[in-house]
Chains A and B, each alone.
Chain A
Amino acid sequence: MTPFPGTGALLEHLFRHQAGRMVAHLARLLGPSQLDLAEETVQEAMLRALQTWPYQGVPANATAWLFRVAHNVAIDTLRRNQALGEKTNSIVTELARSATIRPNDPDVEEQLRDDELRMIFMCCHPQISRDVSVALSLKTVGGFSVREIARAFLADDAAIAQRLVRAKRQIREQRLTLDMPRGDELKSRLDSVLDVLYFMFNEGYAAHEGGDLIRQDLCIEALRLGRLVAASSIALPRVHALVALMALQAARLRARVDESGDLILLEYQDRSRWDQQLIGLGFHHFNQSIAGDEVSEYHVQAAIAATHARATGRQSIDWPVILQLYDQLLSLNGSPVVALNRAVAVARVHGPATALAAIEPLESDAKLRNYYLRLAVRGHLLLELGRGIEAAACFRAALECPCSDPERRFLRRKLAECEPL
């Protein structure tokens, strides 16, 4: 018997997602040089929702309401400040025409997805450096605020704000457009888009305090944008491979930490806590990724994640297959970090002594010498070989390296195992 109309619940993250779509849409109409105006307009539209919906109820079509108000705000602002000079009138006409679009109609939805896609491709322009691209993508298409981005990157607000200002200046000065590149340029731009999404995902995936959901939101956003690219006509098999990889990894987000926020290694995770819907999504894209001959790093990494996902328990993990995949990955990308990860599979297949020998050369690598994970893996192998004193030295050294609090607690736990009471 509530006297208020339309008090239905809002979809989770509705505002964040619609903010991204609206900014992308308005940026196409206003031009990419007016990105700030597009963002302020969207902010104002949401503010009006905040001021009226609590009293009047949520309108029947909340998304259409937000779009209409955003268009009207943009029209008012343009009329007032004439920022676009002689182009103002034609843009105002265009805005007025599109003010009443119904964002849920299939045709309009397709146009909006296209707007988002173009925006991602512009944000990932090679002229813009990768960390700036990530922040810019999160801000414009992701609907994240400066503060949220800063929190996710453990940076301060001012640094992120500055990064965004620089990016927008680059867009203006280099006259970057929302046009999709063609031919070879499209392929190389696609690679930088995937690179940015993968980086965004990994930033969110890096071990963190369980309470800070914003970093998980990064993973979910990277996955969402990846699916957006995968659903477009330019989806090469490697796009599906990356989406598969992200979905399979994201499925394990919940199971990675226990109630007290301590890390649980993949092998020991409670598989019933893995998100089956994301695993299903991962396999769906994995199957699409193997159409054709292309084998990218994303393919091999997705295959490793899929092998883990297929195992029904700790005992049934197919380590020989995983080792083969790591060998393949190492031939595609000879990075010492890959070699380090491979060592875990070597230990399972050939025993800890072989694995220990395999990571010996990494000690001379400048980047890895003081990398907590190399020391942790080494400590772990030594412990398995019964060399507790040397293992303890490794964990102690690892604790001296930069790492997050949950990682630190994990290392302390391992250290305690080395020194029986």
Chain B
Amino acid sequence: MPQYMLLLYDNSENRDLFHKMSPEEMQKAIEKYMAWTKKPFTRDSKRLAEDLGRVIRSDRGKPRVADGPYSETKEVLGGYYTIEAGNYDEAVKLTLDHPHLEHGGTIEVRQVYGT
């Protein structure tokens, strides 16, 4: 079955929301996310570390390494899921109830090539 990657982006809106949550609300949110993660079609999920990251660019044929821009950029890739779905429409449909969207985050859906 085709696999799709769900790329979860954080932005200032959902970061703000999370910051203002009470412990009770945070627990409720975690439980919601967890319930989604445990759905039968998910194959993998990873969180990316919250640091600057590194970007390697080719500078006239030579690799140049720089700190990532990720602390300032508006949208930052926070983590990803891999799910299985019949086609794009189904992948999107399965993702629509992801709690990340309730909290103001963004999700990009991309099919994994060759699956």
Contact = CB atoms under 8 A, between A and B. Distances in A.
B108 interface: no
Contacts of A143: 22-24
B38 A54 contact: no
B23 A54 contact: no
Contacts of B45: 4, 54-56
A16 B28 CA distance: 11
A7 to B, nearest CB: 6
Give the size range of B's interface with the partner. 20 to 34
A7 B19 contact: no
A46 B27 CA distance: 9
A19 B38 contact: no
Contacts of B33: 50, 53-54
A43 B15 CA distance: 13
A154 interface: no
B47 A145 contact: no
A46 B18 CA distance: 10
Interface residues of A, number: 31
B47 A52 contact: yes
Nearest to B27: A15
A398 B99 CA distance: 47
A47 B26 CA distance: 7
Main secondary structure on A side of the interface with B: helix
Contacts of A47: 18-19, 26
A55 B79 contact: yes
Interface string A25-38: 00000000000000
B24 A54 contact: no
A144 interface: yes
B50 interface: yes
A145 B21 contact: yes
B67 interface: no
Given A15-B24, A46-B23, A145-B23, A55 B47 contact: yes
A13 interface: yes
B34 A7 contact: yes
Given A47-B18, A47-B19, A54 B37 contact: yes
B23 A15 contact: yes
A51 interface: yes
A49 B25 CA distance: 12
Interface string A1-30: 011100101100111101100000000000
B47 A51 contact: yes
A58 interface: yes
Interface in B45-62: 45-47, 50
Contacts of A79: none
Nearest to B80: A55
B93 interface: no
Contact of B23 (A4, A19, A51, A57): A19
A54 B81 CA distance: 10
A4 B24 contact: no
Which of B30, B43, B78 has most A Cβ within 10 Å? B30
A16 B21 CA distance: 11
Given A50-B30, A53-B30, A53-B33, A145 B25 contact: yes
A13 B37 contact: no
A47 B47 CA distance: 13
B102 interface: no
Interface of B: 18-27, 29-31, 33-34, 36-38, 42-47, 50, 78-79, 81
Interface of A: 2-4, 7, 9-10, 13-16, 18-19, 42-43, 46-47, 49-58, 143-145, 147-148
Given A3-B44, A42-B23, A56-B46, 19 more contacts: A3-B42, A4-B37, A7-B34, A9-B31, A13-B24, A14-B27, A18-B23, A43-B19, A46-B23, A47-B19, A50-B18, A51-B78, A52-B47, A54-B45, A54-B47, A55-B37, A57-B37, A58-B34, A147-B22
